[in-house]
Amino acid sequence: LPPTRLLYLEEPFRLEASARVLEVRQEAEGLCLVLDRTVLYPQGGGQISDRGRVEACGMTLDVVQARLVDGVVEHRGDLTGERPSPGLEVRVRVNEPLRRLHSRLHSAGHLIDVAMRGIGCPFPPTRGYHFPDGPYVEYAGSIVPEKRDSARAALDAELDRLIAAGSEVQVRMAEPAELPALRGLVSAGAPKSGPTRVVTVAGELGCPCGGTHVRNLREPGRGRVLKLRGKGGNTRISYAVG
């Protein structure tokens, strides 16, 4: 199958598009559809999959998960109505309230990266889990136990400041040569050739990221650091939004 065109990369705020069915698979848990293009964000990069709908005359697939497998997005869910056939023209639509929540959670993770540097802990980020059920970010570097409470308070204050100041989230394509100068999880998943999508929050240099984001940093609402704890030589920060 040809790679699915990932419309969310080109037009991050587009919620609906027409598409064509390329493959239909009946699986034990439900139906799996491959489309030529999609607005749904497939699970990855620490962000949970979008939910949404694929619709045509006489059929609706309530998509519970989208996954990117070898460049192809598989939409899995529950079918109502007639089983679609390859070639069928459909509308694909994102569940907007959930997309907003996922974008707020993801952007908040980037904001914590900026806040960590702001409070004098410029540790390299090693992991981000921006799912609604207990989001956290992790950094290579530890804060001594007796300073963790004050670091947590400082982080909260810095997040308040950044959110109140507000600023547009910038998304652009960067050439591979630019990447070494950028912070974040650069070496982990960045392709070696071709441009990489780079997301910049709060005027920072930016980091490679394929996820979905808010337009303005005010949108996550008040960010809160729930827990700051050491984990081996790492620091894990659990957080909440809004």
Residue 113: CB minimum distance to Zn ion, A: 9
Amino acid residing at 129: Y
> Nearest distance from residue 191's CB to Zn ion, in Å?
16
Q: What does the alpha-carbon distance between residue 73 and residue 63 come to, in Å, rounded to a whole number?
A: 12
Closer to Zn ion by Cβ: residue 42 or 211: 211
Helix, strand, coil shares of the chain, percent, nearest 5, are 25, 40, 35
211 binds Zn ion (CB under 5 A): yes
Instruction: Show the site string, 163-202: x = touches Zn ion by CB under 5 A, - = not.
Output: ----------------------------------------
Pairing mode, strands 5-6 and 37-38: parallel
Contact call for residue 209 and Zn ion (CB under 5 A): yes
Q: Which two tokens stand for residue 157?
A: 């204050």
Structure tokens at 209: 């990221």
- Are 55 and 80 in contact by the 8 Å Cβ rule? The answer is no
User: How far is 72 from 21, CA to CA, in rounded Å?
Assistant: 12
Q: Is 125 in the site for Zn ion (CB under 5 A)?
A: no
Stretch that binds Zn ion, among 24-32, 35-43, 58-66, 207-215 (CB under 5 A): 207-215
Give least dist CB 110 to Zn ion, A: 6
User: Quick one: which segment of 25-33, 167-175, 209-217, 227-235 binds Zn ion (CB under 5 A)?
Assistant: 209-217
Can you count the helices (H) and strands (E) in the chain?
Answer: 4, 15
* Count of residues touching Zn ion (by CB under 5 A): 2
C-beta closer to Zn ion: residue 163 or 214: 214
214 is an interface residue for Zn ion by CB under 5 A? no
Q: How many CB atoms lie within 10 A of CB 4?
A: 23
Q: Which residues bind Zn ion (CB under 5 A)?
A: 209, 211
